[in-house]
Amino acid sequence: MQGTIIENLSGKKLSVLVSLLVIGQIICFLIGGLIAPTPASSQNILGTQCEDIRVNGSEPGGGKWFYSRGKGACSSVNKGNFDLDDHYLAHQVVYAFQMPIPRNNRQLDYSRWQQNLIGVLQVDIMYHSQMEIVPETRITLDARLAYRNKGDPDYAWKPYAASIEERSLDCTIDLKTDDYIYNCSVVPLFELGSLFHDYYLLNVRLPADTDRNINQGLGHVTDLWLTVINQNGGFTKVWVSLKTIFFPIIVCVLAWYWRRVHMLSRSPALLEYMLLVLGSALTFLNMPLEYLTLAYDMPFMLLLGDIRQGVFYANLLSFWLIFAGEHLMIQDSEQRNSLKCYWRHLSAVGVGCLSLFVFDMCERGIQLRNPFYSIWVTDIGTKLALSFIILAGISAGVYLMFLTYMIWKVFTNISIKRATLPSMSAARRLHYEGVIYRFKFLMIATLLCATLTVVGFILGQMAEGQWKWDEDLELEVTSAFFTGVYGMWNNYILALLVLYAPSHKQWPIETSDSIGEEIEFSRLPTDPNEMLSLTAFAGKTAVE
């Protein structure tokens, strides 16, 4: 009867395969460390205070756009009037942010390779003894976003989105002295899922209304700063290049694996089905859809990317639980090879992934309609978002500990069963010794992969949220780590598909000459759905 390649592959061939995978893993780390730039970059832009003489207390700004550079740029606010009349500040000042800002007297433009754009706002408020602001102050922003492309006139800004948003400012001050600036938290303002256009413009007003208590008690706002964060185009090119390489490789290996499974006379086992699903999830993740953003405006790419990664995480975490559970090799074979005995484990993974999906839809799903929306703008939303992230991190840590416990039980079970080896013939004993050694190595690699995956997930959540909850986090999340973990997923699943594919070799009746580099022998009677002779060894009493 046929076994799997991990059982029958010779030591030399297995060494070559492992060496190639290790070399591929090292190359992935080196590509991220030596070739790819940092994953994201940022620019701090000081808002230009433009004067809008057309606007009074009741008229909106209409369709006029205020920009700071180029022909027809806005007129700056008269500082004398600015200091004397706060009412003037509220109704006749438009803060203009033209993105990106020039560098070395050279006008820059956004590239579609940069994928996305996030904007957070910093408010500078001057202290006055007669106008102290409370620690938590609500600020209302009338924000409008526009774009134009290369070749368009300087004034040809086209509207992208507009919204009146309310944010919470948490301000403190170290020294209560006039003309001293408060230390205020940053506020998330907008998030764009694509950078399809070359230039963007943000106009922000601070409307005032005493009757509706809008921006009352805000104090004297001196400046607005906008920090824009975008993915580096160079990093995107490296990332998409890796996807372009891994995508056809995984597809070909997956097709080869499933063809080998269907050549068997028995029906596929549970692990074989799980490997197929896991390989399909990785293929979905590997699809280089980013190429489409070079030709089409796809603002849903951030959400789609989260969904693809979530599907992969769900399948990977589920596979590890079943992979370890199937190799616990319990005596009652009816409890194995079925999803029913794993419903508790899979339910926990499903609930966790579904919770993250709902949270993501509440954030980036709504941002498809209104890029100024953020779940972080209210106290309840912030607490809910932080709770989701903290709970996800804790769940990931608990999952890792539980998986470690299951793998430890597998090793303990194998060690107990290993005591029967001395009673076997030399050929059978050497075969099982080799299979056990290879299996332990694979389980250790599984644990390492799981650890790096959990660490990468937690760091990714913290890196994404640090601009939104305004914590000073010293994170060293490098391109090498991202490309290395991504390469590790592909190499690990590639190794599983190859090593757990059915072998074409048959195990003949054992003879005295059967001891060699590749030891093959007749298999003990086992369940017809059995994949590994190791399972038969650990689940049944050896018969000699």
Phi, psi of 31 (to 5 degrees): -60, -45
Residue indicated by tokens 């190429």: 291
The pLDDT of residue 54:
60
User: What DSSP character marks residue 165?
Assistant: E
The pLDDT of residue 57:
43
Short-list 202, 147, 193, 139, CA closest to 165: 139
Q: How far apart are CA 542 and CA 426, in angstroms?
A: 14
Residue indicated by tokens 């760091």: 459
- DSSP state string for 464-533: HHHHHHT--------HHHHHHHHHHHHHHHHHHHHHTSBPS---PPP-TT--SSS---PPPP--TT---H
Q: Is 215 left (phi over 0), alpha (psi -120 to 50) or beta?
A: left
List the structure tokens of 68: 């700071």
The pLDDT of residue 285:
93
Q: Topology of 5-39+234-539 in CATH?
A: Rhopdopsin 7-helix transmembrane proteins (1.20.1070)
The pLDDT of residue 237:
93
CA angle 513, 515, 520 (to 5 degrees): 100
Q: Tell me the average confidence (pLDDT) per consecutive run of 10 residues in the chain, 544 residues long.
A: 67 83 87 84 89 57 78 73 49 87 87 91 84 80 92 91 87 80 86 92 86 76 90 91 94 92 82 90 94 92 90 89 73 57 80 81 85 80 77 79 85 74 66 69 81 73 53 53 86 86 59 40 41 52 39
List the structure tokens of 328: 């616990």
**Which residue ranges make up each domain of the chain?**
5-39+234-539, 40-231
- DSSP state string for 239-266: HHHHHHHHHHHHHHHHHHHHHHHHTSSS
36 residue type, one letter? A
